Amino acid sequence: MAMRRGAAVAAELSGGGADMVPLYHRIYVVLLQKLTDGSYPEGHAMPGEDELAAGFGVSRVTIRKAIERLEREGLVLRQRGRGTFPLPPRDGAHPAQNRILRDQISLAARTRVTVLEHAMARMPRRVAAALGAEPGAPALRIVRVRHDARSPISHTTCHLSADLAPLVPRRRISSLPISATLAAAGLRLARFRERITATLADTQVARHLGVDVGTALIAMTRLVEDESGRVVELLQALYRPDRYEYRVEYTAEGARDDAPWRAAITDNRG
Shared-domain flag, residues 165 and 87? no
Shared-domain flag, residues 49 and 124? no
Shared-domain flag, residues 48 and 70? yes
Question: Does any domain span residue 161?
Answer: yes
Question: Does any domain span residue 37?
Answer: yes
User: What pLDDT, on the 0 to 100 scale, is given for residue 173?
Assistant: 84
Residue-number span of the structural domain to which 55 is assigned: 2-92
| Mean pLDDT, rounded, of the chain | 80
Shared-domain flag, residues 237 and 147? yes
Shared-domain flag, residues 260 and 130? yes
User: What pLDDT, on the 0 to 100 scale, is given for residue 161?
Assistant: 92
Write out the DSSP string of the chain.
Answer: -HHHHHHHHHHHHH--STTPPPHHHHHHHHHHHHHHTTSS-TTSPPPPHHHHHHHHTS-HHHHHHHHHHHHHTTSEEEETTTEEEE----TTSS-HHHHHHHHHHHHHTT-EEEEEEEEEEEPPHHHHHHHT--TT-EEEEEEEEEE-SS-EEEEEEEEEEGGGGGGS-GGG--SS-HHHHHHHTT--EEEEEEEEEEEE--HHHHHHHT--TT-EEEEEEEEEEETTS-EEEEEEEEE-TTTEEEEE---TT---TT--EEEEE-----
- pTM to 2 decimals? 0.64
pLDDT digits (tens, 9 = 90+) for 15-70: 443 344 577 877 887 888 788 767 888 888 999 999 999 988 899 999 999 999 88
Shared-domain flag, residues 149 and 252? yes
pLDDT digits (tens, 9 = 90+) for 123-165: 999 999 999 999 999 999 999 999 988 999 999 999 999 999 9
Shared-domain flag, residues 29 and 116? no
- CATH (domain of 57): 1.10.10.10
Assess whether pLDDT exceeds 90 at residue 239.
yes
